[in-house]
Amino acid sequence: MDLYSQIIINAVEIAKDAVVKIDVLKKDKQGKKTPAGSGSGFLFSSDGYLFTNSHVVNGAEQIKLSFSDGREHEAQLIGEDPDSDLALLKTDATGLVTAKLGDSSGIRIGQLVVAIGNPYGYQHTVTSGVVSALGRTLRTQTGRLIDNVVQTDAALNPGNSGGPLIDTDGQVVGVNTATIRGAQGLCFAIGINTATSILPELIQEGRVRRAYLGLMTQTVDLHSRVIQFHHLKNRRGLFVVSVEGGSPAEKAGIQEGDFIVAFCDCNVESSDDLFRLLTKDKIGSFQYITVLRHQQKLDLRVTPVENNTKAKTPSR
């Protein structure tokens, strides 16, 4: 057997039994519970916690899990965060196989990755590809912006949502979330570091309170001349693709084409860095955000608001 195939097989063997099929039931107009879609999820703790996408289980009256060994159990929704399209479920099933969580900050463009899920109900379907880009910001069909998204060409289809994106060691580096309709090879996963960073709040409060700036960004490498000229410690920064109208970012004077290199006196080299800094204690409190614009380094004063104050586009 060729080396490439063996690498994929070994990775899948490590993670596949932690992947579950999720079936959702919702009440119809007559109040009867009826099937309302399906997706994927993966167990990460022996006491029954699992991650999936918020859009898979949002509004569910009943959630059913199907395991790789044929068992079926119900699950409860512990919490969800639509802004990152993540949800935390829990099952009382025993004898669980769990996936090992990796580090999404360590993945690189071109790295081999594998997606496991249940597209169109075909359980434990495996697809492989590479990491195509990092630090993307993805706008969902509901208008929300999801931060720190990993782009991959590992094929995803309806039903893959919520399943794991794993590396060649079988460790989960992302939660598969979306594709772009009509495009080929454009698939996306939420970095697992985003999921683990909000896990405590999902368990304790069932939701995530997060500060909102209103930016759409992309992670880029900074030119060595720029780094030297401005005496930066950063090697990368966030390129501002767009600014939401009426947002804190617009009011602060942030413009399309700026490069964000710091927030709250902390270096920002990725969407994940900014995501972690936009905690609930920043809401309503002015902060300084450092941007590069043409030949200038500017410290702009911005006052984040709570993410749910914007009905359709709560974002960074």
CATH number reported for the structural domain that contains residue 34 in this entry: 2.40.10.10
Statement to judge: residues 200 and 216 lie in one domain: no
> Which helix or strand (DSSP H or E) is residue 25 part of?
strand 19-27
Span 161-201, pLDDT tens digits: 999 999 999 999 999 987 776 667 789 999 999 899 899 99
The first and second tokens of residue 291, run together, are 């941007």
Query: Among residues 187, 205, 223, which one ends one of the domains?
Result: 205
40 in a domain, yes or no? yes
Residues annotated as catalytic (active site), given as ranges: 55, 85, 161
Dihedrals φ, ψ of 250, to 5°? -65, -40
Query: Among residues 67, 91, 115, which one ends one of the domains?
Result: 91
Q: How many domains does the chain have?
A: 3
Q: How far is CA 103 from CA 107, 195, 300, in A?
A: 7, 11, 32
> Which helix or strand (DSSP H or E) is residue 199 part of?
helix 192-205
CA–CA dist 309, 187 (Å, integer) = 29
> Which helix or strand (DSSP H or E) is residue 9 part of?
helix 3-15
Rg of the chain over all Cα atoms, to the nearest angstrom: 20
Q: What is the pTM of this model?
A: 0.74
CATH number reported for the structural domain that contains residue 293 in this entry: 2.30.42.10
Span 96-126, pLDDT tens digits: 999 999 999 899 999 999 999 998 878 889 9
Domain carrying residue 255: 211-309
Span 36-93, pLDDT tens digits: 999 999 999 999 999 999 999 999 999 999 999 999 999 999 999 887 889 999 999 9
Query: Among residues 160, 176, 205, which one ends one of the domains?
Result: 205
315 in a domain, yes or no? no
| Mode of pairing for the β-strands spanning 296-302 and 236-243 | unpaired
223 in a domain, yes or no? yes
What percent of the chain stands above pLDDT 90?
70
- CA end-to-end span of the chain, whole Å? 46
3 in a domain, yes or no? no
What DSSP character marks residue 70? Answer: S
The first and second tokens of residue 302, run together, are 């911005």
> If phi over 0 gives left and psi between -120 and 50 gives alpha, with beta otherwise, what is residue 218?
beta
